[in-house]
Amino acid sequence: MSRTFRNLMVTGGAGFIGVNFIRWLFDQPDGPARIVNVDKLTYAGNPLSLLDVEKRAGDRYVFVKADICDAAKMKEVIEKYQIDAIAHFAAESHVDRSIVRPDEFVRTNIFGTYTLLQAAREHASQIQLFHHVSTDEVFGTLGDTGFFTEDTPYAPNSPYSASKASSDHLVRAYHETYRLPTTLSNCSNNYGPYQFPEKLIPLMILNALEGKPLPVYGDGMNVRDWLFVTDHCSAIWRVMTRAAFGSTYNVGGRNELPNLRVVEKICDLVDAKAPPLPGGKPRRSLITFVKDRPGHDRRYAIDCSKIERDLGWKPAETWATGFERTVAWYLSHFEWCAQVRSGDYQKWIATHYA
């Protein structure tokens, strides 16, 4: 079984994973004829990350500045561009922000997903697939052993993960109740190019480069499975084109590491690739332990054997190769990083997407 799509709508396509998905998809021989990127352009959305794609792809790429909670606009986009598939990335995703402002997460992640599902349902004769991109955080936390599987009960512990769990349940319900053709994937922690610098890995790379403190929550022994972003992109496309409707797949990198080990590896890579700090001190000396955040899950670990077995997908990057590629990218794209951190791109957005 293999599906093809002509006009793919990508929500949140100016965010980290969405940008990489669009960039990756334009290089694939089985990609859609046209990609319509729908993004509200919040603080983490940066269309400058796709300017070269826009020039290269011509009318195969369309950008629409819109809020997924706007039902009339979603209907307009689906009809105007004859959308036949939706890849839904758009979400508020930073756990720390969800603790301070949970209302934004409820609105975008729950009501926004509902709005899109309704729009897809109202165009049932046109929509071939609704794919929902989610997180392993919906499963809660693990002890020292065991793995999340597709059958693990949901037990979210932060407003962010609770809002994503709610959206997952809505997607499942729309398939079961209305027979909407859906697929769903839950991924582990992504890393790679174009990630907003508030996230752990780009924050640590840039702080290490500049000799700033490297804040690590608690004792640094919170464990995550790390997935290189283009591996995630290939998994999503494999699910979208080959998986049975109503199915769910876990996507992991098989790279389970404590946060402290991740930061130490970044320090060593930056030491090897960048000018030394004053006095030649190692960047590991910048590591600073800070008070743990509320509801900080101790360990996530993904069992991705189902997608490997059913769909023949496996991650291409190990943690060693993926981290080296990531550090090298940020060190060679410092202008992009400076622009994002300064917020100057927001002025460009205001001019071009009024």
Q: What is the pLDDT of residues 295-308, one digit of tens each?
A: 888 999 999 999 99
Instruction: Calculate the alpha carbon distances from 189 to 62, 178, 225, 251, 263 in Å.
Output: 28, 32, 6, 10, 14
Question: Catalytic residue among 136, 168, 231, 303, which?
Answer: 136
pLDDT (average), residues 259-288: 97
| Mean pLDDT calculated for residue range 14-36 | 97
CA distance 237 to 233: 6
Query: What are the tens digits of pLDDT across the range 95-114?
Result: 888 999 999 999 999 999 99
pLDDT given at position 306: 98
The answer for 267, left when phi > 0, alpha when psi is -120 to 50, beta otherwise, is alpha
Active site residue 122: no
Going by C-beta distance under 8 Å and a sequence separation of 6 or more, which residues neighbour residue 120?
Answer: 78, 86, 127, 130, 174, 180
Backbone angles phi and psi of 27, in degrees to 5: -95, 0
Report how far residue 140's alpha carbon sits from residue 154's, in angstroms, rounded to the nearest whole number.
Answer: 7
Give the pLDDT band of residue 348 (cuts 50, 70, 90).
low
Beta strands in the chain (DSSP E): 7-11, 34-39, 61-65, 85-88, 129-135, 182-187, 189-191, 214-217, 223-228, 247-251, 256-258, 287-290
Asked if residue 208 has pLDDT above 80, the reply is yes
Beta-bridged to residue 226, according to DSSP, are 189
Q: Residue 163's pLDDT band (boundaries 50, 70, 90)? A: very high
Q: State pTM to two decimals.
A: 0.94
Q: At what angle do helices 16-25 and 229-242 cross, to 10 degrees?
A: 60
Average pLDDT over residues 75-79: 98
Quick count: other Cβ atoms within 10 Å of Cβ 141?
A: 18
Look at residue 354 in the predicted model and tell me its pLDDT.
Answer: 58
Give the separation between CA 117 and CA 88, rounded to whole angstroms. Answer: 10
Q: What is the pLDDT of residue 150?
A: 98
pLDDT-above-70 percentage for the chain = 97
> What is the 8-class DSSP label of residue 153?
P
Spatial distance between the Cα atoms of 149 and 83, rounded to a whole number of angstroms: 32
Q: Does residue 84 surpass a pLDDT of 70?
A: yes
CATH 3.40.1170.10 for the 7-190+229-254+299-317 domain, yes or no: no
Residue of 160, 191, 249, 300 with catalytic role: 160
Q: For the chain, what is the mean pLDDT? A: 94
Task: Return d(Cα 293, Cα 315) in angstroms, integer.
Answer: 30
Structure confidence at residue 1 (pLDDT): 65
The catalytically annotated residue of 137, 168, 231, 264 is 137
Q: Is 150 a catalytic residue?
A: no
pLDDT on residue 137: 94
Residue 136: active-site member:
yes
Residue (of 5, 340, 35, 109) closest to 205 by Cα position = 340
- Model pLDDT, residue 43: 79
Please check the confidence at residue 345 and state whether its pLDDT lies above 70. no
pLDDT band at residue 77, thresholds of 50, 70 and 90? very high
Query: What local confidence, expressed as pLDDT, does residue 197 receive?
Result: 83
